[in-house]
Amino acid sequence: MSKNLLIVESPAKVKTISKFLGKDFDVLATYGHVIDLPKSTLGIDVEKDFDIKYITVRGKGDVLAKLKSKAKVSDNIYLATDPDREGETISWHIKNALKLKDSSKNYSRITFNEISKNAVLNAIKNPRDIDINLVNSQQARRAIDRIVGYKISPLLWEKIKGKLSAGRVQSVALKLICDREKEINEFIPIEYWTLEVLLKYDNKDITAQFYGDVNNKISLENEKQVDEIINKIKKDDFFVKDIKKSKREKKAPLPFTTSTLQQEAGKSLNFPIAKTMRIAQSLYEGIELKGRGTTSLITYLRTDSTRISDEAKAIAKDYIRDNYGSNYVLENENLKVDKNNNKIQDAHEAIRPTYINILPSDIKESLSRDEYRLYNLIWKRFIASRMSNAVYDTAKVTIEANGYIFTANASKISFDGFMSVYTDADDKTASQNVLPDFNIGDKIEFKKFNKEQHFTQPPAHFTESSLVKVLEENGIGRPSTYAPTVNTLLHRRYVTKEKKNLFVTELGIAVNDIMNKAFPNIVDEKFTANMEKELDEVANGQMGWKEVLREFYPEFEEEVNKAYDKLEKVKIKEEVSEEKCDNCGANLVVKYGPFGKFLACPNFPECRFTKPYIERTGFICPTCGKNEIIKLRTKKGRIFYACEDKDCEFKAWQIPKDAKEVSIDKEKAI
User: What integer pLDDT is reported at residue 199 of this predicted model?
Assistant: 94
User: What integer pLDDT is reported at residue 424 of this predicted model?
Assistant: 77
Same-domain check for residues 203 and 170: no
Residue 8 one-letter amino acid: V
Span 417-432, pLDDT tens digits: 999 999 876 665 445 5
Band (638; pLDDT cuts 50, 70, 90): low
Termini Cα distance of the chain: 80
- pTM value? 0.83
Mean pLDDT of 431-452: 87
User: What integer pLDDT is reported at residue 465 of this predicted model?
Assistant: 94
Same-domain check for residues 402 and 505: no
Extended strands (E) in 332-479: 390-401, 404-415, 443-455
Same-domain check for residues 586 and 625: no
Span 130-160, pLDDT tens digits: 999 999 999 999 999 999 999 999 999 999 9
**Across-strand partners of 293?**
289
CATH of residue 66:
3.40.50.140
Using the 3D structure, point to which of 534, 566, 598 is the last residue of a domain. Answer: 566
Residue 249 CA to residue 237 CA, distance in Å, equals 36
Nearest Cα neighbor of 344 from 147, 100, 538, 106 is: 538
Beta carbons of 58 and 52 less than 8 angstroms apart: no
Same-domain check for residues 46 and 101: yes
Same-domain check for residues 376 and 435: no
Beta carbons of 663 and 669 less than 8 angstroms apart: yes
Other beta carbons within 10 angstroms of residue 207's beta carbon come to: 14
Q: Which residues of 46-61 are buried (b: 16+ CB within 10 A; e: fewer)?
A: eeeebeeeeebbeebe
Same-domain check for residues 301 and 367: yes
Mean pLDDT of 30-53: 95
Is 60's pLDDT higher than 70? yes
Nearest Cα neighbor of 208 from 442, 456, 455, 448 is: 448
Q: How many structural domains are present in the chain?
A: 6
Residue 472 CA to residue 487 CA, distance in Å, equals 17
Span 393-405, pLDDT tens digits: 999 999 999 999 9
**Across-strand partners of 45?**
51
**Contacts within 8 Å (CB) and 24+ apart, 488-497:** 488/165, 488/167, 488/170, 489/170, 489/173, 489/174, 489/177, 492/163, 492/164, 492/165, 493/592, 494/174, 495/174, 495/177, 497/464
User: What integer pLDDT is reported at residue 390 of this predicted model?
Assistant: 94
319 labelled catalytic = no
Mean pLDDT of 24-47: 95
Span 502-539, pLDDT tens digits: 999 889 999 999 999 999 999 999 999 999 999 999 99
Q: Percentage of residues in the chain with pLDDT exceeding 90?
A: 74
DSSP characters over 289-345: ETTTEEE--B--S--------HHHHHHHHHHHHHHT-GGGB--S------TT--HHH
Mean pLDDT of 30-43: 94
Is 332 part of any domain? yes
Using the 3D structure, point to which of 333, 368, 385 is the last residue of a domain. Answer: 385
Nearest Cα neighbor of 410 from 243, 575, 255, 530 is: 243
Residue 590 CA to residue 611 CA, distance in Å, equals 10
CATH of residue 246:
2.70.20.10
Band (665; pLDDT cuts 50, 70, 90): very low
What mean pLDDT is reported for the chain? 90
Same-domain check for residues 60 and 117: yes
User: What integer pLDDT is reported at residue 659 of this predicted model?
Assistant: 84
φ, ψ of residue 402 in degrees (nearest 5) = 50, 45
Q: Which of 241-250, 328-337, 476-485 has the lowest mean pLDDT?
A: 328-337
Question: Which one-letter DSSP state was computed for residue 263?
Answer: H
Q: Which of 55-64, 102-111, 246-255, 562-571 has the lowest mean pLDDT?
A: 102-111
Q: What is the largest CA-CA distance in the chain?
A: 97
Span 470-505, pLDDT tens digits: 999 999 988 889 999 999 999 898 998 887 899 998
Neighbour-count burial of 544, counting CB atoms closer than 10 A to its CB (0-12 exposed, 13-18 middle, 19+ buried) = middle
User: What integer pLDDT is reported at residue 637 of this predicted model?
Assistant: 57
Same-domain check for residues 273 and 347: yes
CATH of residue 162:
1.10.460.10
Band (670; pLDDT cuts 50, 70, 90): very low
Is 400 part of any domain? yes
Residue 526 CA to residue 364 CA, distance in Å, equals 45
Q: Percentage of residues in the chain with pLDDT exceeding 70?
A: 93
User: What integer pLDDT is reported at residue 340 of this predicted model?
Assistant: 46
Is 441 part of any domain? yes
Cα distances from 164 to residues 170, 490, 518, in angstroms, run 12, 12, 16
Dihedral of the CA atoms 363, 369, 372, 377 (nearest 10)? 160
Q: Note the Cα 585 to chain centre separation in Å.
A: 44
Beta carbons of 222 and 387 less than 8 angstroms apart: no
Is 432 part of any domain? yes
Is 20 part of any domain? yes
Same-domain check for residues 212 and 156: no
Structural domain range at position 177:
143-187+481-566
Active-site hit among 300, 328, 404, 482: 300
Question: Which one-letter DSSP state was computed for residue 636?
Answer: T
Is 461 part of any domain? no
Q: Which residues of 274-300 are buried (b: 16+ CB within 10 A; e: fewer)?
A: bbbbebbebbbbbbebeeeebbbbbbb
Dihedral of the CA atoms 59, 63, 64, 68 (nearest 10)? 160
Using the 3D structure, point to which of 331, 359, 385 is the last residue of a domain. Answer: 385
Beta carbons of 311 and 300 less than 8 angstroms apart: no
User: What integer pLDDT is reported at residue 482 of this predicted model?
Assistant: 93
Same-domain check for residues 271 and 377: yes
Same-domain check for residues 451 and 415: yes
CATH of residue 297:
1.10.290.10
Is 472 part of any domain? no
Name the H helices within 476-524.
479-491, 506-518
Is 234 part of any domain? yes
Same-domain check for residues 548 and 485: yes
